[in-house]
Amino acid sequence: MNSVSMETKRRYHAKVRRSNYQASMALEGINVDPQAPKADKADVLAKYTKYKAR
């Protein structure tokens, strides 16, 4: 019997999850560019801290 490693299963699940997300967004009419650079946590925090209510 061919055993599949847990890391292979994790990578497969992440790939399918991304694919499903893109398909869901397309059904809603939102185009998501898979090649677009991803924002990291620091970029997101920097963007929204300037709008923080005081």
| Residues 4-41: tens digit of each pLDDT | 899 999 999 999 998 898 889 889 998 877 777 878 89
**Band of pLDDT at residue 47, cut at 50, 70 and 90:** confident
Give me 11's structure tokens.
């990578």
Output the pLDDT for position 48.
87
The pTM of this model reads 0.54
The distance from CA 6 to its chain's CA centroid, rounded to whole angstroms, is 20
Nearest residue to 16 (alpha-carbon basis) of 6, 24, 27: 24
Residue 1 in this model has a pLDDT that exceeds 80: no
